[in-house]
Amino acid sequence: MPHDPYAWIEKSLTTIHRADWYRSVQTIDGRPGATVVLAGQEVINFASNDYLGLAGDERLIAAAIAAIEEFGTGSTGSRLLSGHRKLHRELEKAIASTKQTEDALVFSSGYLANLGAITALVGKRDLILSDQYNHSSLKNGAILCGAAVVEYPHCDVVALKTQLSQQRQNYRRCLILTDSVFSMDGDLCPMPALLDLADEFNCMLLVDEAHATGILGKTGAGCVEYFGCTGKPLIQIGTLSKALGSLGGYVAGSSVLIDFLRNRAPSWIYTTGLSPADTAAALAAIEIVQQEPQRRAQLWENVRYLKALLEHLPNLKLLPSESPILCFQLPNATDALKAGKYLRDAGIFAPAIRPPTVPTSRIRISVMATHQAAHIEKLVAVLKEMGSGEW
């Protein structure tokens, strides 16, 4: 029989299907918003990272169109060659000003910002301590850089301290990695305690503000601002693709750090600069976040309202959350898929999240500033039906 070196791929897919871990894309028509048309059906959208409802905002769209008119569609090269535009620097200055850091660097995505920063900062002689629930981009950055990687139990600063006491002295540099808002759980990292440990053990601390940017803290600067840690020695990563409604990622920190990354972060050096449209849309979004705090206030009002209504549904196993991300746990992937379908049939888009993305299956709900009270009430009514077990 002739060899087929690709035959394993189909077998692997079959295994994925059998475990109910198979994933496929779903088409959304039209602009993003609190309701969307999903495969032809209008649904209430609890599946979006567009927390402030800016991805379909006329002002972002106008800024993107104006940038295309002026600069064209593509950046045409890496930032260090032909791909740098004045818009990139304006955006970096706006991010640094929001974050109150000396400087910032814009990457083509948040994922690439994490890969770039981690691989530039640590290597074979170094140690990474990483929260077990960190986002894939932190985990893969840790693998890619070649450092020794130790995962500590989720948000467990006592366990982290034990690891540091046992291992720190064996390595040259140490980098602690954490999401600030955990993307598949919705809880927050213990940032002040992490900063104390970083100080005590002479470690760098990198926090991923992807789900905090624009929504947490008095001015929307993120979890760092929320915890009163502005100005502390840490490396902040974020994305322009969630509350800021665009695409791209950033690192914010000292000017020395940013200068170093411009010289050493491969996922920044060897990739094409962010497109003019994405850059301009993110800049417009940052201005709106600053000028319209009422959007953030409305988001948190919606979160409070949903949480208050969910208190009347004791059968749902809600995970602890301090963010617009709310998850309820289900026994397995099959039940999670069934729950997702039930919600969908009732006009609610709230996806099932299954292993290997998360250790346990769940339905993930993300609240937006643009949700109406009626949207939230409908979600709760459908969850109530599910909680009563009639599905």
- Binding site residues, ligand PMP, CB under 6 A: 109-111, 114, 135, 137, 179, 183, 208, 210-211, 239, 241, 249
**Is 239 or 361 the residue whose CB approaches ligand PMP more closely?**
239
DSSP code of 318?
A: B
Q: How far apart are alpha carbons 182 and 302 in whole angstroms? A: 19
| Residue 112 in tokens | 């690439």
**Is 118 or 336 the residue whose CB approaches ligand PMP more closely?**
118
CB of 18 to ligand PMP, least distance (A): 27
**Is 101 or 108 the residue whose CB approaches ligand PMP more closely?**
108
DSSP per-residue string spanning 166-213: HHGGGSS-EEEEEESB-TTT--B--HHHHHHHHHHTT-EEEEE-TTTT
Look at residues 244, 259, 240 and name the one whose alpha carbon lies nearest to residue 111: 240
**Is 183 or 271 the residue whose CB approaches ligand PMP more closely?**
183
**Is 211 or 383 the residue whose CB approaches ligand PMP more closely?**
211
CB of 154 to ligand PMP, least distance (A): 14
CB of 114 to ligand PMP, least distance (A): 6
Sheet containing 148-152, strands listed edge to edge, beginning at the edge strand earlier in sequence: 103-107, 249-253, 235-239, 204-208, 174-179, 127-131, 148-152
Asked whether the beta carbons of 342 and 334 are under 8 A apart, the reply is: no
CB of 218 to ligand PMP, least distance (A): 22
**Is 167 or 360 the residue whose CB approaches ligand PMP more closely?**
360
CB of 249 to ligand PMP, least distance (A): 5
CB of 33 to ligand PMP, least distance (A): 19
**Is 284 or 386 the residue whose CB approaches ligand PMP more closely?**
284
Q: How far apart are alpha carbons 102 and 95 in whole angstroms? A: 10
Query: Where do we find the tokens 């985990």?
Result: 139
Nearest residue relative to ligand PMP (C-beta): 110
Q: How many residues does the chain have?
A: 391
Q: How far apart are alpha carbons 192 and 198 in whole angstroms? A: 10
CB of 58 to ligand PMP, least distance (A): 23
Hey, what amino acid is at 196? D
Asked whether the beta carbons of 150 and 201 are under 8 A apart, the reply is: no
